[in-house]
């Protein structure tokens, strides 16, 4: 049926603008009623939605034709001929109470049903897939002649009538290991039923009700489960224990050359923010102070559940953190914290040097730091700006005065310094410029004589009294 074609359906009344037509295809044809002719409908598009069919078929009284696929039992394959591989995923609760999605790849030998499973806490990449293959071959002690795959984007780019176009990395790997690929048809999981059953078995028997702690423990527990249950109990179809049959099948596997070490490191770049942090997977990770520069980037690599941050120019590791599945957190190493005490210690030593580094000076500065830790830099700056051109005697007097009266403040010290400086100046002004030479060298005690200084009010009072006496005499 071409788009725009007319379909005779009779008067459908209030039927929606969709109707199912049967033919070689089970697609739903989207139609629009031509209002001038109730008996005619114009086809305007195709919709394969089951919901569209269900609603319209009920209203129109159309019954659906179901096609039943016929299956044929497959003979058991010879030992070492075929291995099947597939992916699975499941949501589990972590030890922190959060739901996490975990991914696994599983292999099964078609003859013995010997299984291998490996887990990741993130979606697989092609490099992850290659690494899992190497681990599976190492686990089995060899590889089969043929491996069955689903049409996954990690393996296949396109299938053109049987001409497989593999992804670049996987094609290179297949060329290295030289195994045959049996690619299932699209949306046809039944053609690899053995591994499909393994995926269900892993989910229902091993992973169900499991609490996720960390990836290493999960893989360790899974291998123990395979040895105990997955490969250690009688298979429901073959009525044999996979581990026992595998002992015989292992002799037919193709020996694998030395294991290829595949790096699954994921490298991306991140911009350094003004607060010396980068963002990665919903969290912030701190860098050492001084890392920030305008438009400066760093490399972030995931390696064995660690986030490694590197300088892209030198490839040197700046810092590394354990990867977190939480969101919105700030991760800050002790290496990235400001060494506040170190800067203050240097400043404190500098100011103490200006104050002759006397014991009283150190004691006073430490007490100021203790009583005013938040403002210690401001306190030291005030002292530094006001302690110049003072004698050591003034320093000692000022520190002694402040310590005695518990005045642990820079402003109090500055006031004391100014007071004792002015006092010293006034004393210096009272001393004669030239020494007095007495006539009688034996009587030098006269030099120490101090004339009493009286208040002027006394003289005013005396003068008033004298004037009163004079007035009385005149009378």
The model's pLDDT over 59-107, given as tens digits with 9 standing for 90+, comes to 666 666 777 877 777 788 899 999 999 999 999 998 888 899 999 999 9
CA distance 365 to 360: 9
349 compared with 82, residue with greater pLDDT: 82
* Domain total of the chain: 4
Residue 380: inside a domain: yes
Same domain, 242 and 194: yes
Q: Report residue 390 CA to chain centroid gap.
A: 55
Same domain, 102 and 156: yes
Q: How confident is the model at residue 436 (pLDDT cuts 50, 70, 90)?
A: low
Same domain, 22 and 88: no
Tokens of 253: 């596997």
Same domain, 88 and 230: yes
* 3-class DSSP state of 439: coil
CA distance 103 to 87: 7
**What pLDDT does 297 receive?**
86
Residue 159, domain CATH: 3.30.420.10
**Whether 322 contacts 283, CB under 8 Å:** no
Secondary-structure breakdown of the chain: helix, strand, coil percentages, each rounded to the nearest 5? 40, 20, 40
Count of CB atoms situated within 10 Å of the CB of 413: 26
Residue 458: inside a domain: no
Q: How confident is the model at residue 250 (pLDDT cuts 50, 70, 90)?
A: very high
Same domain, 274 and 207: no
Residue 464: inside a domain: no
Same domain, 148 and 227: yes
Residue 127: inside a domain: yes
Same domain, 107 and 127: yes
CA distance 420 to 401: 10
Same domain, 201 and 295: no
Length of the chain: 475
* pLDDT > 70: percent of the chain: 76
CA torsion sign for 285, 286, 291, 294 is: positive
Has residue 215 got a pLDDT over 70?
yes
Residue 231: inside a domain: yes
CA torsion sign for 113, 119, 125, 131 is: negative
Over the stretch 379-434, which tens digit does the pLDDT of each residue have?
888 888 887 777 878 888 888 899 988 888 888 888 888 888 888 777 666 655 55
Has residue 122 got a pLDDT over 90?
no
**What pLDDT does 212 receive?**
93
* Helix axes of 410-430 and 376-386: crossing angle, nearest 10 degrees: 10
Which stretch of DSSP H or E encloses residue 180?
strand 180-183
Has residue 450 got a pLDDT over 90?
no
Which stretch of DSSP H or E encloses residue 333?
none
**What pLDDT does 361 receive?**
86
Q: Which of 278, 310, 336 is the last residue of a domain?
A: 336
Same domain, 103 and 206: yes
**What pLDDT does 291 receive?**
85
To 5 degrees, how large is the angle CA 340–CA 343–CA 345?
A: 105
Residue 319: inside a domain: yes
Residue 271: inside a domain: yes
Has residue 375 got a pLDDT over 70?
yes
CB neighbour burial string for 307-316, b if at least 16 within 10 angstroms, e if fewer: bbbbeeeeee
Same domain, 167 and 272: no
Residue range of the domain that includes 361: 345-430
**What pLDDT does 456 receive?**
74
Same domain, 33 and 144: no
**Whether 144 contacts 84, CB under 8 Å:** no
Residue 281: inside a domain: yes
Same domain, 287 and 245: no
Over the stretch 271-318, which tens digit does the pLDDT of each residue have?
899 999 999 888 999 998 888 888 888 888 888 788 889 887 787 888
* Average pLDDT of the residues of the chain: 79
* 3-class DSSP state of 345: helix
């Amino acid at each position: 049926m071409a788009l725009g074609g007319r379909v005779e359906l009779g008067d459908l009344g209030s039927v929606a603008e969709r109707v199912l037509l049967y033919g070689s295809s089970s697609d739903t044809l989207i139609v629009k009623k031509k209002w001038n002719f109730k008996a005619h409908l114009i086809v305007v598009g195709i919709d394969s939605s089951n919901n569209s069919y269900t609603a319209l078929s009920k209203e129109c009284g159309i019954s659906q034709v179901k096609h039943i696929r016929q299956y044929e039992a497959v003979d058991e394959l010879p030992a070492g001929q075929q291995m099947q591989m597939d992916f699975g995923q499941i949501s589990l609760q972590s030890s922190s109470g959060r739901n996490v999605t975990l991914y696994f790849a599983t292999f099964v030998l078609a003859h013995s049903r010997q299984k291998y499973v490996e887990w990741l806490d993130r979606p697989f990449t092609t490099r992850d897939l290659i690494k899992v293959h190497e681990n599976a071959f190492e686990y089995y002690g060899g590889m089969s002649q043929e491996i069955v795959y689903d049409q996954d984007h990690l393996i296949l780019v396109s299938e053109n009538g049987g001409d497989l176009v593999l992804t670049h990395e996987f094609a290179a790997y297949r060329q290295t290991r030289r195994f045959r690929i049996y690619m299932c048809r699209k949306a046809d999981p039944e053609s690899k039923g053995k591994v499909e059953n393994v995926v269900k078995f892993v989910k229902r028997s091993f992973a169900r009700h499991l609490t996720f702690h960390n990836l290493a423990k999960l893989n360790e527990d899974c291998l123990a489960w395979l040895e105990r249950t997955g490969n250690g109990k009688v298979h429901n179809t073959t009525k044999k224990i996979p581990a026992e049959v595998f002992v015989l099948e292992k002799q037919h596997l193709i020996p694998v050359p030395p294991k290829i070490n595949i790096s699954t490191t994921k490298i991306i770049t991140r911009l350094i923010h003004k607060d010396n942090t980068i963002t990665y997977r919903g969290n912030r990770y701190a860098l050492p102070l001084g890392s920030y520069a305008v438009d400066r980037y760093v490399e972030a690599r995931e390696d064995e559940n660690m986030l490694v941050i590197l300088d892209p120019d030198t490839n040197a590791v700046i810092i590394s953190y354990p990867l977190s599945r939480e969101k919105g957190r700030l991760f800050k190493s002790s290496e990235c914290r400001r060494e506040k005490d170190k800067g203050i210690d240097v400043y404190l030593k500098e100011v103490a040097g200006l104050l002759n580094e006397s014991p009283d000076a150190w004691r006073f500065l430490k007490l100021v730091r203790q009583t005013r830790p938040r403002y210690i830099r401001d306190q030291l700056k005030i002292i530094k700006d006001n302690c110049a051109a003072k004698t050591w005697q003034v320093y000692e007097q000022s520190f002694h005065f402040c310590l005695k009266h518990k005045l642990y403040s820079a402003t109090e010290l500055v006031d004391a310094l100014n007071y004792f400086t002015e006092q010293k100046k006034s004393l210096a002004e009272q001393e004669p410029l030239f020494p007095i030479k007495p006539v009688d060298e034996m009587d030098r005690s006269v030099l120490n004589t101090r004339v009493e200084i009286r208040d002027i009010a006394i003289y005013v009072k005396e003068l008033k009294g004298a004037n009163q006496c004079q007035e009385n005499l005149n009378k």
